[in-house]
Amino acid sequence: MNLDTSRLAQMANAIRALSMDAVQAANSGHPGMPMGMADVATVLYSQYLKFDPAAPKWPDRDRFVLSAGHGSMLLYSLLYLTGYDSPTIDDIRKFRQLHSPCAGHPENTELAGAECTTGPLGQGIAMAVGMAIAERHLNAVFGDGLVDHRTWVVAGDGCLMEGVNHEAIGLAGLHKLGGLNVLWDDNSITIDGSTDLSTCENIPARYEAAGWHVTRCDGHDHADIARALAEAQADPRPSLIACKTVIGKGSPNKAGSHSVHGSPLGADEIVATREALGWSAPAFEIPAEILADWRSLGAKGAELRSEWEARVATDPQRREFARRMAGKLPEGDEAEAVFKDWLGQSQKVATRKASEMALEVLTPAVPEMVGGSADLTGSNNTKTKVTTPFSPADYAGRYLYYGIREFGMAAAMNGMALHGGVIPYGGTFLVFSDYCRNAIRLSALQQARVVYVLTHDSIGLGEDGPTHQPVEHVMSMRLIPNLNVFRPADIIETAECWNIALQSEATPSVLALTRQNLPQLRDGGDMLSAKGGYRLRAASAPRKVVLAATGSEVELACNVRDALEAKGIGADVVSMPCLELFDAQDAAYKADLLPADALLVSIEAGVTWGWQKYVGNGLTIGIDSFGASAPAEVLFPHFGFSVEAIVPKIEARLGV
Ligand SMILES: Cc1ncc(C[n+]2csc(CCOP(=O)(O)OP(=O)(O)O)c2C)c(N)n1
Ligand SMILES: [Mg+2]
C-alpha cells in the first residue's frame, strides 16, 4: 500500500480519536497506550500484517496479539477501521458496557478478530510464542503452501517486566522462531510513573542474550518504523523492536505522563487534542477519505487469501489440514479398542504411568497432540514414542522440552491451542500449578483445549515432603470456572479422563495423577467417568453409608467399605473423578448416588473444604494441614487415611 506519510498520519489520528472518545464515553479505560502506539500500528497494518477482515479466522493469517491488553481500544479501532464485521461503531460507542464485544480488555470469545484474551500482562507475549510454535509445527507438517505466517505482538513495559516474558523469550530464542516480532511500546511509563522508579534493566541486552534480534525505531516516524519492521522480518531470529513512543501522543497537556495511562483525557483535553491533531470530526465519526484508506488495506490480504485457497484446493493434505484446523478429532476407534481390552486385565500402575500408557495409544491416533513437560518428563510420563522433540532441526517434532518454565509453558500452550491445528498437553508437578495458575485460568476463560498433566498429586508422593505435596491444589483448581479437574482412581478412569479431555473442545482439563501405584478397580462399564461420579461398589448389607472418594483414595474407600460390610453395615463406594462433570448431572442422578438417607463420607487426600457441598453434614476425611517428609506408606496412616482410622469415625457417627 503506497500511502504517503500525511495520509498515514491521519489514519493514525483516527485511532487516537476513537480511543480517546471511547474511553471518555465509558468514563474508564486506557487512552495512553493506543494513542502512543497508533503510528506503529498504522504502519504494521498498512504494510506488513497479513490479514483479511472478511475472513477473521483464515488459517494462514498473521496473528496479531495485543499483549498490552489494557490498550484494547487500539485493537478495537484497528478491527473497526479495517472493516471487520465486529466491532461496529456502535459497539465501540458502548466500549466497556455490558454486551458490547468491546470489553475492557480484549476477549477472544467476544471478537473473532481478537486472537486471544489479554490483560494479565506478559501472557500475551507468551501466548504469541505458543502461536509461533504452532505455526512452525504446522508449516513443517503441511508445507509453505498451507502454513506460512507471522506472529506480531504489541507489548508494553509491563509485559516486559513480568517474569513470564522471560520464560517465553527463552523458548522463542532457543527454537529460532523468526516469524515472531514483538513491538515494544517503549514509552518509559507505567502506572506509578517513570519506569526509572522500578527498573534499570537493559531489556534489549536481555533479549539479545536469549537469542533474539533487537532493533529500535522512533515510534512516531513512519519511515523509521517501516525500516525496523522490514529489518525484523528479514532476520531469521525472533525480533524485539523497541519503538520509542510518547504515551498519549497527541494530547498537548497529558502526553508523556502516567496520568494518561488509565484515565479519560477529560472533555477539555479532548478539545485541545482535537485541535492539536487537526481533527475536526465529531466523536465516533471517521472522515470518509480516511476510513476509505483504512478499508482499502484488506484488499491485499483478500488477494493473498484467494491465492491460498487455490493452493489448498489442490493440496493432497487439504482434508487433514481442514480437520485439524476445525479442531475435530480423527475418526477411528483403535484407541477405544485398546482401552476396552484393559478392562479385562488387572494392571496395578500409578495413574501417571496409566496416563503415559493412554498417551502411547492416543498420540499416534491423534497427530495434532503436541506434548511437553517443564523439565519433569520422566516424572510426568508425558513423552511417547511418536512424540519426538520439537526443535529448529525438526519443527515437525511433537514434544517440547519447556525447561523449568511452568508459567511460560502453560501460556504457550494457550497460544498453541488458540492458533489451532494443535492440541497441546504439558506436565509439571501438581504443587507447581500455582506457578502457572493464571495461565490455567486463561485457558478456561479463553475456552482453550489445553490438557495439564499434573502429577505427584498428594502426600502420596512421599519423601520430597510438604514443599512438594499438594494439599489445597485440587480443590483450588475446582474453583476455576470452565475447567475440568480430573482425579482418576485407576488405569481405566485415567484412559476415560484422557478421552473426555480430548473431546472437550472448549474446556481445558487438569489431570491430577499419582506418583504411587494404584490397583485396577474397574473391570467393566463404558466411559463411566463422563458423568463425573458413579457407583463403583454397591452395598450388600442394607445401605447405611456412602463413601465418595477420588483418585488414590478410591482404593481406600473400597477397603473401608469391605470392613463396614464385614460388620453388617452396608456401604456404597462412589468414585468421583470429576466434580465439575458430576455437578452437570441431573438432580435425580446425583440424589441416587449421594442419597439423603445415608451417612455421606468424602475421602480425598487434600483439604476438606468444599466437600460439604457433596456430603452435607456427613464426614469429610482429608488433610487440612501441610504434609510431611516420609514414605507414602507411613504418611497415609499418619494423616488418618486408613481403614483403622476411618471405620471407627463412621461407627461413631452411626452410633453403633
Ligand atoms: C499481571 C498484571 N499485573 C498488573 C496489571 C495492572 N496493570 C495494567 S497496565 C499496568 C501498567 C503497565 O505499564 P505499561 O505496560 O508500560 O503500559 P503503559 O502505561 O505504557 O500503557 C498495570 C500494572 C495487569 N494488567 N496485569
Ligand atoms: Mg509503558
Taken in order 135, 139, 142, 144, the sign of the CA dihedral is positive
pLDDT band at 160 (very low <50, low <70, confident <90, very high): very high
* 309: CB partners within 8 A, 6+ apart: none
The lowest-confidence range among 17-26, 332-341, 526-535 is 332-341
Q: Tell the residue nearest (CA) to atom 8 of ligand 1.
A: 70
Nearest to 216 by CA among 239, 246, 234: 239
Q: Look at residue 536 and tell me whether its pLDDT is greater than 60.
A: yes
* Terminal-residue alpha carbon distance, the chain: 85
Which atom of ligand 1 lies at the shortest distance from residue 155's CA?
Answer: 15
Per-residue pLDDT reduced to its tens digit, 301-337? 999 999 999 999 999 999 999 999 999 999 988 899 9
CB atoms within 10 A of CB 142: 22
| Ligand nearest, relative to CA of residue 161 | 1
Exposure b/e, 234-253, CB count within 10 A at least 16 = b: eeebbbbbbbbbbbbbbbeb
| Spatial contact of 243 and 40, defined as CB atoms under 8 Å apart | yes
Query: Which pLDDT does position 2 carry in this prediction?
Result: 63
Backbone angles phi, psi at 370, to 5 degrees: -125, 115
The rounded Å distance from CA 237 to ligand 1 centre is 27
Give SS3 for 94. coil
Query: Which pLDDT does position 20 carry in this prediction?
Result: 98
Query: Which pLDDT does position 334 carry in this prediction?
Result: 87
Place of cell 480484549: 106
Q: Between vectors from CA 428 to CA 424 and to CA 431, what angle results, nearest 5°?
A: 130
| Spatial contact of 426 and 371, defined as CB atoms under 8 Å apart | yes
The rounded Å distance from CA 162 to ligand 1 centre is 10
Which atom of ligand 1 lies at the shortest distance from residue 187's CA?
Answer: 20
Q: Look at residue 548 and tell me whether its pLDDT is greater than 80.
A: yes
Q: Are strands 213-218 and 349-350 parallel, antiparallel or unpaired?
A: unpaired
Q: Tell the residue nearest (CA) to atom 19 of ligand 1.
A: 190
Which atom of ligand 1 lies at the shortest distance from residue 69's CA?
Answer: 25
Q: Are strands 509-513 and 423-429 parallel, antiparallel or unpaired?
A: unpaired
Q: Look at residue 74 and tell me whether its pLDDT is greater than 70.
A: yes
Taken in order 230, 231, 234, 235, the sign of the CA dihedral is negative
Which atom of ligand 1 lies at the shortest distance from residue 156's CA?
Answer: 15
| Spatial contact of 342 and 492, defined as CB atoms under 8 Å apart | yes
Question: Grid coordinates standing for 47?
Answer: 504494510
The DSSP secondary-structure symbol of 435 reads G
User: Looking at residues 350-359, what average pLDDT do you find?
Assistant: 98
**Pocket of ligand 1, beta carbon within 6 A:** 32-33, 68, 70, 119-121, 156-159, 162, 185, 187, 189-191, 247, 261
| Spatial contact of 74 and 19, defined as CB atoms under 8 Å apart | yes
The rounded Å distance from CA 165 to ligand 1 centre is 14
Per-residue pLDDT reduced to its tens digit, 84-138? 999 999 999 999 999 999 999 999 999 999 999 999 999 999 999 999 999 999 9
| Spatial contact of 355 and 381, defined as CB atoms under 8 Å apart | yes
Instruction: Let me know if 617 is exposed, middle or buried by CB neighbors in 10 A (0-12, 13-18, 19+).
Output: exposed
Q: Look at residue 559 and tell me whether its pLDDT is greater than 70.
A: yes
Whole-number percent of the chain with pLDDT over 70:
100
* 99: CB partners within 8 A, 6+ apart: none
406, 493, 555, 580: the active-site residue? 406
The rounded Å distance from CA 191 to ligand 1 centre is 7
Q: How far apart are CA 177 and CA 171, in angstroms?
A: 9
Q: Is the peptide bond before 87 cis (omega within 30 degrees of 0)?
A: yes
CB atoms within 10 A of CB 216: 16
Pocket test residue of 121, 157, 167, 184 for ligand 1, highest count of atoms within 8 A of CB: 121
Per-residue pLDDT reduced to its tens digit, 560-592? 999 999 999 999 999 999 999 999 999 999 999
Q: How far apart are CA 433 and CA 407, in angstroms?
A: 9
Q: 63 to each of 45, 49, 131, 223, 326, how far by Cα in Å?
A: 12, 8, 8, 23, 17
Question: Grid coordinates standing for 299?
Answer: 484488499
Q: Look at residue 340 and tell me whether its pLDDT is greater than 70.
A: yes
Q: Look at residue 73 and tell me whether its pLDDT is greater than 80.
A: yes
Query: Which pLDDT does position 5 carry in this prediction?
Result: 86
Residue 189 β-bridge partners? 194
Question: How many Å separate Cα 444 from the centre of its chain?
Answer: 7
**331 part of the active site:** no
User: Looking at residues 626-646, what average pLDDT do you find?
Assistant: 98
Give SS3 for 239. strand
Per-residue pLDDT reduced to its tens digit, 239-291? 999 999 999 999 999 999 999 999 999 999 999 999 999 999 999 999 999 99
* 595: CB partners within 8 A, 6+ apart: 543, 546
User: Looking at residues 52-59, what average pLDDT do you find?
Assistant: 98
The rounded Å distance from CA 427 to ligand 1 centre is 29
Query: Which pLDDT does position 314 carry in this prediction?
Result: 97
Q: How far apart are CA 92 and CA 17, in angstroms?
A: 12
The rounded Å distance from CA 75 to ligand 2 centre is 17
Average pLDDT, the chain: 98
| Ligand nearest, relative to CA of residue 30 | 1
CB atoms within 10 A of CB 44: 23
User: Looking at residues 481-488, what average pLDDT do you find?
Assistant: 99
Q: Does the pTM exceed 0.85?
A: yes
| Spatial contact of 26 and 96, defined as CB atoms under 8 Å apart | yes
Query: Which pLDDT does position 333 carry in this prediction?
Result: 85
Query: Which pLDDT does position 365 carry in this prediction?
Result: 97
Q: Look at residue 1 and tell me whether its pLDDT is greater than 80.
A: no
Number of C-alpha atoms within 13 angstroms, CB side, residue 183?
A: 33
Whole-number percent of the chain with pLDDT over 90:
98
| Spatial contact of 455 and 380, defined as CB atoms under 8 Å apart | yes
Q: Look at residue 453 and tell me whether its pLDDT is greater than 70.
A: yes
Pocket test residue of 37, 105, 160, 191 for ligand 1, highest count of atoms within 8 A of CB: 191
Rg, C-alpha atoms of the chain: 28
| Ligand nearest, relative to CA of residue 438 | 1
Backbone angles phi, psi at 394, to 5 degrees: -155, 85
pLDDT band at 8 (very low <50, low <70, confident <90, very high): very high
Q: 598 to each of 521, 542, 550, 577, 648, how far by Cα in Å?
A: 23, 10, 19, 21, 17
